[in-house]
Amino acid sequence: MKKVLIIGSGPAGISASLYLARSSIADVTVISNGKGALAKAEMIENYFGFAEPISGKQLLENGKKGAERLGVKFIEAELTSLGFTDDMRYEAEYVGGRDSFDAVLIATGAARKAPSINGIKDFEGKGVSYCAVCDAFFYRGKDVAVIGSGDYALHEASTLLQTASSVTLLTNGQETNIELPEKIKLIKTGIKALHGSDRLSSVEFDDGSSISVSGVFVAVGTAGSTDIARKLGAAVDDGKIIVDESFAANVPGVFAAGDCIGGLMQVSKAVSDGAAAGINMIRYLKQI
Ligand SMILES: Cc1cc2nc3c(=O)[nH]c(=O)nc-3n(C[C@H](O)[C@H](O)[C@H](O)COP(=O)(O)OP(=O)(O)OC[C@H]3O[C@@H](n4cnc5c(N)ncnc54)[C@H](O)[C@@H]3O)c2cc1C
């Protein structure tokens, strides 16, 4: 049996899991932190098969139960990183564990927006990064900061600690209950602006203080679709993962479906994407 990881238990991820589980060639695991778009939808009345409106939560619950009946396993946790193993399989790190897989479907919903901090957009690619594992190398021996306050921020800060001279976690006014390694400094003051000339050189805070840094890594909330894609080197454009007609990203064995690839952001389209991605993943798994 091949091992497949589906990131996201929304309509796209669940729909793909049904096809993959029924193929009998895949052992399917879905990981989800339960914070998708459908969970926020009060009532759905434009999706096939319901005589009365159904809440987003109930629709999700029904979908999960149907997948479980077919043998799909669920992990309720936040995925913090996705990388390669030495034998070119995929290694997922999540809060509470890690495991490796033969293929991955990213179905994590629409990308979250960057925090609205003055200068953040201006320094993208010039000191502002969204992926520690991709860019840590460029900041070896330098002072860097991570913006965020949760497990994803801790993961990014810990990755940077291996190469950077110093790492400071900036919660931007948020409280945090994560346990930071001693070497990571913590600043909870709100961020006013990022400054620099050609490249980022400092962060200014609401209280007028500032710190000098060469890089700021954005890791607010959970790892979103584009953060996860970037860690694998998969192409992303304008917050969307680029896929071909078989829903494959430009990295073998990585597929994406639903809101994270753009287009109509509706349940029906996410279900359709998931079905097509699932079928194409079965084809891929038969070839490897
Ligand atoms: C308020 C609201 C109302 C809506 N109303 C309608 C409507 O009436 N009709 C309609 O058709 N559509 C509606 N939509 C849109 C619809 O909900 C989405 O198009 C659809 O849910 C997209 O499905 P998806 O599977 O791509 O992503 P999502 O449903 O967003 O699911 C994403 C999944 O990824 C998981 N995830 C993300 N990041 C991580 C991580 N790092 N680790 C672990 N898990 C992660 C989430 O927990 C979630 O399970 C509405 C959306 C909203 C927000």
Q: Tell me the pLDDT tens digit for each residue of 39-61.
A: 888 999 999 999 999 999 999 99
Give the list of residues 6+ apart from residue 242 with CB closer than 8 angstroms, or none.
Answer: 234, 235, 236, 249, 250, 261
Interval 185-238: pLDDT, tens: 999 999 999 999 999 999 999 999 999 999 999 999 888 899 999 999 999 998
Q: How confident is the model at residue 112 (pLDDT cuts 50, 70, 90)?
A: confident
pLDDT of residue 134: 87
Answer whether 111 contacts ligand 1 (Cβ < 6 A). no
Domain residues for the domain of 81 are: 2-112+223-287
In this structure, are 152 and 213 located in the same domain?
yes
Stated as kind and residue range, the H or E segment containing 92 is strand 90-94
Is residue 51 one of the residues assigned to a domain? yes
Last residue of one domain, picked from the residues 166, 190, 218: 218
Total domains present in the chain: 2
The phi and psi torsions of 3 (rounded to 5 degrees) equal -105, 125
Q: Which of 218, 239, 256 is the last residue of a domain?
A: 218
151 Cβ below 6 A of ligand 1:
no
- Domain presence at residue 120: no
- Secondary element (H or E) of residue 282: helix 267-287
84 assigned to some structural domain: yes
* Same domain, residue pair 213 and 229: no
Average pLDDT in the 28-38 region? 93
In a domain, 119, yes or no: no
Whether 31 is in the pocket of ligand 1, judged by its Cβ within 6 Å, is yes
Residues 188 and 243 in one domain: no
Kindly state whether residues 52 and 174 are assigned to the same domain. Answer: no
d(CA 122, CA 126): 8
Residues 252 and 214 both lie in one domain: no
- 229/219 Cα distance (integer angstroms): 14
Tell me the pTM: 0.90
Q: Is 108 in the pocket of ligand 1 (CB under 6 A)?
A: yes
Give domain status of residue 283, yes or no.
yes
The pLDDT value given to residue 19: 98
125 pLDDT band (50/70/90 cuts)? confident
150 lines ligand 1 (CB under 6 A): no
Do residue 22 and residue 96 come from a single domain? yes
Does residue 267's CB lie within 6 angstroms of at least one atom of ligand 1? yes
In this structure, is residue 256 part of a structural domain?
yes
Residue 114 has pLDDT above 80, yes or no: no
Q: Are residues 38 and 107 in the same domain?
A: yes
Domain boundary among 183, 203, 218: 218
Same domain, 137 and 41: no
Q: How many A from CA of 149 to the centre of ligand 1?
A: 23
Residue nearest to atom 8 of ligand 1 (CA): 44
- Whether residue 90 is found in the same domain as residue 229: yes
Tokens of 129: 């990064």
- In this structure, the answer to whether residues 14 and 102 fall within a common structural domain is yes
Q: What is the mean pLDDT of the segment spanning 6-16? A: 98
Burial of 219 per CB tally in 10 Å (0-12, 13-18, 19+): buried
Question: Is residue 189 classed exposed, middle or buried when 0-12, 13-18 and 19+ CB atoms within 10 A define those classes?
Answer: middle
Give the alpha-carbon dihedral of 259, 261, 262, 268, to 10 degrees: -50
Asked whether residue 123 is domain-assigned, the answer is no
- Provide the strand spans (E) within 102-188: 103-106, 128-129, 143-147, 166-170, 184-187
Ligand 1 pocket, 33 CB below 6 A? yes
For residue 43, the ligand 1 atom closest to its alpha carbon is 8
Q: What is the H or E stretch that residue 283 is in?
A: helix 267-287
Q: What is the pLDDT of residues 97-109, one digit of tens each?
A: 999 999 999 999 9
Q: In sequence order, which residues have a C-beta less than 8 Å from that of residue 61 and are 6 or more positions away?
A: none
- Label residue 169 by pLDDT band (50, 70, 90): very high
Whether pLDDT at 88 is above 90:
no
The C-alpha angle 282, 284, 285, rounded to 5 degrees, equals: 65
Smallest Cα–Cα separation from 226: which of 4, 3, 7?
A: 7
Q: Which pair of tokens denotes residue 284?
A: 């891929």
Distance from residue 39's CA to the centre of ligand 1 (Å): 7
Task: Based on the fold, state whether residues 202 and 246 are members of the same structural domain.
Answer: no
- CATH number of the domain at 213, please: 3.50.50.60
Residues 132 and 69 both lie in one domain: no
- Determine which residue's CA is closest to atom 12 belonging to ligand 1: 266
Give the per-residue pLDDT at 141. Answer: 97
Q: Tell me if 122 is assigned to some domain.
A: no
